[in-house]
Structure formats: C-alpha cells, structure tokens
Amino acid sequence: MEHKKLHFIIGSSRSGTTLLMALLNDHSKIQSLPEIYGYLSFLNDADRIKNNTDAINSLLSDIISFIKARISKRKVFQNRLDLNLAELQQEVKRLNITDYESLITMLYSKLNFIKPADSKTKVIIEKNPSYAINIETILSKSASSKFIYIVRDYRAQINSIISRKNPRTVQWPTSILAWQWEILNKKMHHIASSNPERFKIVRYEDLCSDTESTLKTIYRFLNLKDEDLNYTYVDFYNNLQNQISNLANTELKERRLNKIKSLAKKPNASGLNKWKDYLNHSTIELIENICANTGDKFDYTSMFARSKVKKLSISRNFAVFLFHLNQLRYKLPYRLQLKLEFCIEFISTRFM
C-alpha cells in the first residue's frame, strides 16, 4: 500500500469539514470519505496486530462489522457498501499487509460512498471532526499521516450549531459551545504550529472566498500536482438530495436535506457574516469574551472590547469534562462505542 497515503480532515463540528471533503474529491488522485470512525476506533490494536496475520484477519472482521453497524444508520449509503471478508482477507495476503495503517488504507480504498478509489488514487482522506479531540493518540501511532485542520469563525460556527436544531444532538448553552470551540482550537493551533510538516490549517472563510487558491495550497501540502476544479461534487449532492427526498421518515428527510443543501451548489462568501444577523450583541460579547484571544491566532477580529469579568468557570469545567469524555469514548472496545452512541442518541432525543 506504499503508493496510497492515508490522511485526515479534522476540525470542530460545523466548521466546513464536509465541504472540504467534497471539494477534495474533485482531484483525480484523491478519494475523500465521510466519517468512518474505523481508524480511531481500533487504533489501540495497532501494536498487537503488527506482523501477525491471524490478528490482522480477526481485526479486519471486527472493523467490517463496525462499519456496517454505523452505515446501517445512514440509509442513503447502504447500497454503496459491499465488503466481503473473504475477498478482503485475500487482498491482505496479496498485498502482504503487516501493519494497521496499511490495513485501514486498503479497507478504505474499497469503500464507495462518494467516489471510488482507482488506479490513479494516491491519497485517501477520512473526514472526521472528532479525530481532532484525540489527535495526540493518532500522532503517537501514525508516523506519516497528514492532517488538514479546518477552522471557522467562532461566532459563525456557534450560530450554525444553534440554527441547526438537530433533535439528535444535545443543544448545549452558548457558553459551553464557546468553551468547546476555545478548548479545541487553542489546543489544535499549538499542535499544528508545532508540526507544520504534518498539519495544514485552513480557514473556512478562505475556502469559500478563494476556493481554488486555497485548494492548491492543500494539494501541495499533500504532494499532489494542481488540477482545475470542476465542482463535480455538486452533481453528486444534487443526486443525493433526490434520493433523500424519497425517504419515508419526514423528520429524517428534513434533517438530511438541511445538512447537504449548501453542498448542492458552489461555495461562495455571501453567507460568511450571517451570524451578525442572528446573534444579538450580548451573545456575541459572551462568545468573544471566551474565544477572542484564540480567535486572534486565526485572524478573526472581535467586535467588542475584551471583558475582564470572570469567564464562566462552571461552563468551562463542564466543557473540559465533555472533551475528556469524548476522548475516552474511542478508547472503549468497538461494541461498547456503538452502545454508548445509541444511549447518547436515546437520551438526547427523549430527555434533552
């Protein structure tokens, strides 16, 4: 698998990771995938399976079961999942796969959710915002993967979360959302700045306002040649909208359509400052009081003078707790991860 490299798109929720994934799939040598979770969920097995064929084949079976369980919740992708264990085990033997990263790269190359890998494919990318939370663990296990970290103006991102109103997602108070942005992005700025050869920071605003130039810097970061952008993903998401429109579940249909409607057209800068129309001044001031210092590092300009009042320590402590809880989640055995996810969805939809 030395001719295919495995890299990642990471960032906070609602920061533009899906848009970036879609745009990168326009490059002939990139296959970019939505959240699979396979890599991080089984990363603790990396050392155990090294040079152990039986352990590799056993783990491969577990990963396939895990992926199928997750995709069962995403009905529009079910008919794109065709993983045959016996065939994949033969592929492991043929390619002489002896390590975890090569195993995952091979498996991901067989997935056809948005764009299939082919003989031209040199780079496979998993888009997964939550991987940022566990970035130290991933860095400790992977010596070659690169990370495209996308960041978005904290006010716009928080407004996007508030406006989304997903019944399956806990709607945290604004102060906790602000602290979640602050904690993750402060940490990621330090790690990315300390490892420039492995991290590329991309601002969502630059991706929307200067799309082609921003993508060319990413191509070079991934050691790929520039290519013209054809926006082929727009057709894919238009077709996906038609598929979703046929879903019987009205609530699910509306949620999925809202999620991808912006992807069925080319990116533009017209909506970058919509948060100014939706957030009142007191909310903006609260968010800036928590996030503005880290926002400065990404060249986001605050509207208000920095307050010297105490920064809501209770909200911060709770956000730190949630951060560590999410880190712990991916250290559990994969069957417990799935059960925990089900429990979180059950509680969120019925009691929050």
Question: Model confidence over 262-281: pLDDT tens digits?
Answer: 777 888 899 899 999 999 99
User: Which is more confidently placed, 80 or 83?
Assistant: 83
- Please tell me the predicted confidence (pLDDT) of residue 80: 60
Per-position DSSP letters for 116-163, written without gaps between them: ---TT--EEEEE-GGGGGGHHHHHHH-SS--EEEEE--HHHHHHHHHH
- Please tell me the predicted confidence (pLDDT) of residue 121: 94
**CB of 19 closer than 8 Å to CB of 157:** no
Task: Indicate if the pLDDT at residue 110 is higher than 80.
Answer: yes
- Please tell me the predicted confidence (pLDDT) of residue 307: 72
Kindly report the backbone phi and psi dihedral angles of residue 165, in degrees, each rounded to the nearest multiple of 5, phi listed first: 50, 50
- Please tell me the predicted confidence (pLDDT) of residue 191: 97
Lowest pLDDT segment from 66-80, 213-227, 286-300? 66-80
Q: What does DSSP assign to residue 196?
A: T
- Please tell me the predicted confidence (pLDDT) of residue 328: 83
Quote the Cα angle for 146-152-157, to 5°.
Answer: 130
Q: What does DSSP assign to residue 329?
A: H
User: What value does the mean pLDDT take over residues 18-35?
Assistant: 93
Confidence category of residue 1, pLDDT binned at 50, 70, 90: very low
**Distance (Å, rounded) from C-alpha 285 to C-alpha 190?**
25
User: Quick one: 5-231+266-351 is in which CATH superfamily?
Assistant: P-loop containing nucleotide triphosphate hydrolases (3.40.50.300)
- What pLDDT digit, counting tens, does each position of 44-53 carry? 899 999 999 9
Task: Indicate if the pLDDT at residue 150 is higher than 90.
Answer: yes
Task: Indicate if the pLDDT at residue 92 is higher than 90.
Answer: yes
Task: Indicate if the pLDDT at residue 231 is higher than 50.
Answer: yes
Task: Indicate if the pLDDT at residue 54 is higher than 50.
Answer: yes
Confidence category of residue 344, pLDDT binned at 50, 70, 90: low
Q: Could you give the C-alpha distances from 237 to 61, 73, 229, in angstroms and in order?
A: 31, 19, 16
Kindly report the backbone phi and psi dihedral angles of residue 124, in degrees, each rounded to the nearest multiple of 5, phi listed first: -115, 130
**Distance (Å, rounded) from C-alpha 70 to C-alpha 343?**
14
Q: What is the distance, to the nearest Å, from the Cα of residue 177 to the centroid of all Cα atoms in its chain?
A: 17
Confidence category of residue 343, pLDDT binned at 50, 70, 90: low
**Distance (Å, rounded) from C-alpha 298 to C-alpha 107?**
35
- Please tell me the predicted confidence (pLDDT) of residue 347: 46
Task: Indicate if the pLDDT at residue 94 is higher than 70.
Answer: yes
Q: Which of 104, 112, 110 is nearest to 79 (CA)?
A: 112
Q: Is 295 exposed, middle or buried (0-12, 13-18, 19+ CB in 10 A)?
A: buried
Range list for CATH 3.40.50.300 in the chain? 5-231+266-351
Could you give the residue ranges of the DSSP H alpha helices within 264-333? 275-278, 281-297, 313-329
Which residue pairs, CB below 8 angstroms and at least 24 apart, start in 263-267?
Answer: 263/18, 263/19, 263/22, 263/233, 263/234, 263/237, 264/234, 264/237, 264/238, 265/234, 266/211, 266/231, 266/234, 267/19, 267/23, 267/207, 267/208, 267/211
Q: What is the distance, to the nearest Å, from the Cα of residue 290 to the centroid of all Cα atoms in its chain?
A: 24
Quote the mean pLDDT of the chain: 86
Residues 6+ positions from 37 with CB-CB distance below 8 Å: 66, 70, 128, 130, 330, 337
Confidence category of residue 236, pLDDT binned at 50, 70, 90: confident
- Please tell me the predicted confidence (pLDDT) of residue 336: 79
Lowest pLDDT segment from 52-61, 152-161, 189-198, 324-333? 324-333
Q: Residue type at 200?
A: K
Task: Indicate if the pLDDT at residue 297 is higher than 90.
Answer: yes
Residues 6+ positions from 338 with CB-CB distance below 8 Å: 66, 69, 70
